[in-house]
Amino acid sequence: MRIKRNWRRAVIGILTAAVLSACSGSDEQTETDESEITSTSSAAEAVASEEAAVVQPESPKPLVYEGELELPVNGATGYASVLMNLKATADDESETIAALEAGTAFEVLEEAGDWWFVQTATQSGWVQHLYCFINLPDVIPSIIYDNSNTYASKFVSSGKAIPGITGQALYDGKAYNMRLGKISDIVPVLYSMSKKIHLAQQAALAEGNTLVIYEGYRPYSVQKLTVDAVTALAAAEPEVMAGINTPPWDTNWFIATSVSNHQMGYAIDVTLAKIDAQQQIVIGDYAATAITSYTEYTMPTAIHELSMASATFTGPVKSSSPTAWLQATLADTMNEAAILLQRYCTEAGLTPLASEWWHFNDLEARFATEQNSSKGEYLLDSTMSEGPTVD
């Protein structure tokens, strides 16, 4: 990609110099026969036309990526979810170049087995991608991303606004993304989870629908702020207290009081929408789909309604079990759209949360990283993305 950019700059420079030189020559020649001017101009135009034909090759047809995501990972932004060693080669026994602090952003340059070759702001090397987040918009651009907690939180409880939370920007999570050519949401999840989300989106697209993701990674500071605010509201509002603490439910089912799956990177909050319009776009060397108009389906509640009104099932289900939910009874409020969303996600390998119709976990990613999981003690507010290329 960098070679192509340099080539384009060189061509533009040559043509610019030629034009400036021609202009300078015409200024110095003050008395020229009109026929000579016409002849010279025609000749120059012919030469310029021939040069243009040589230096402006026809744009190649964008490629259709065939892999486990919509776009290849090269050029995408990744993040160290925990303290990680940057290695000289794709081998755990190789020299450690540096230690990457949790939350360090990097560009993924290459994938080789269980490893990524990455470029941070200052150095390059190899990391094991098991413990890495990837920015979802970089690799699944057809999904709609609307991280409301970064601009106007939708968190409420029993329909009541939560002081200091509802309508507030709780953290920075948008940045200009060079790969996408626009300001975009930053939505990180564990790399292994992104492949399941891709499967769910492909199933939705096949039926004229799309996922709308409201959050992936959430900083622990935001989690704690929300817990404290909901707890205070519940103490003052009996209706709110009843909504989160009526057996068999308790507060922890609606907003975790400790480090949660959002901090660990294996959870998404997601709803479903009908596609009204879409178009094909080009990102780097590849074709991609962009949803340009959509209508969200009506769900059991508004997203981020923190109360038992949002429950998926009639009671708690062990959240660490990938199969217990199969024996659970759906809540009466679970409508056709919510059940369809659940089908897309569960058939892709995700597990529903009993208390929130919008929340799905990747338990395989959880178990694979549980010995060294993220604590969410950092903000992810920048990207290093570049367009994916074949070179």
pLDDT recorded at residue 350: 99
Number of compact structural domains in the chain: 2
The residues near 363 (Cβ < 8 Å, ≥ 6 apart) are 266, 320, 321, 322, 351
For residue 211, being part of any structural domain is answered with yes
First-to-final CA distance of the chain:
7
Q: Are residues 39 and 152 in the same domain?
A: no
Q: Are residues 6 and 144 in the same domain?
A: no
Q: What is the mean pLDDT of residues 306-327?
A: 98
pLDDT recorded at residue 302: 99
pLDDT recorded at residue 255: 87
- At 267, give phi and psi (nearest 5°): -135, 145
Q: Are residues 154 and 49 in the same domain?
A: no
For residue 381, being part of any structural domain is answered with no
Residues 2-50 pLDDT 10s: 334 333 333 333 433 443 344 344 444 434 344 443 444 444 444 444 4
pLDDT recorded at residue 56: 53
Q: What is the mean pLDDT of residues 334-363?
A: 99
Domain containing 14 equals 2-55
For residue 117, name the pLDDT band (cuts at 50, 70, 90): very high
Residues 242-297 pLDDT 10s: 999 999 999 999 988 899 999 999 999 999 999 999 999 999 999 999 999 999 99
pLDDT recorded at residue 12: 31
Q: Are residues 176 and 307 in the same domain?
A: yes
For residue 73, being part of any structural domain is answered with no
Cβ atoms within 10 Å, residue 123? 12
Please say if the pLDDT value at position 176 is more than 80: yes
For residue 55, name the pLDDT band (cuts at 50, 70, 90): low
For residue 223, being part of any structural domain is answered with yes
Please say if the pLDDT value at position 98 is more than 80: yes
pLDDT recorded at residue 387: 98
pLDDT recorded at residue 256: 86
Q: Are residues 50 and 144 in the same domain?
A: no
pTM (2 decimals)?
A: 0.85
Q: Are residues 157 and 289 in the same domain?
A: yes
Q: Are residues 156 and 41 in the same domain?
A: no
Tell me whether the omega of the peptide bond preceding residue 248 falls within 30 degrees of 0, making it cis. yes
DSSP assignment of 281-347: EEETTEEEEEEEEEEEPP-SS-TTB-SGGG-SBSS---TT-SSGGGGSPBPTT--HHHHHHHHHHHH
Q: What is the mean pLDDT of residues 119-125?
A: 98
For residue 38, being part of any structural domain is answered with yes
pLDDT recorded at residue 58: 66
As a whole number of angstroms, the distance between CA 41 and CA 38 comes to 5
Q: Are residues 224 and 355 in the same domain?
A: yes
User: CATH number of the domain that 221 lies in?
Assistant: 3.30.1380.10
For residue 308, being part of any structural domain is answered with yes
In the chain, the percentage of residues whose pLDDT exceeds 70 is 85
In the chain, the percentage of residues whose pLDDT exceeds 90 is 83
For residue 75, being part of any structural domain is answered with no
The closest of 149, 182, 187, 141 to 165, measured between CA atoms, is: 149
Q: Are residues 26 and 149 in the same domain?
A: no
For residue 333, being part of any structural domain is answered with yes
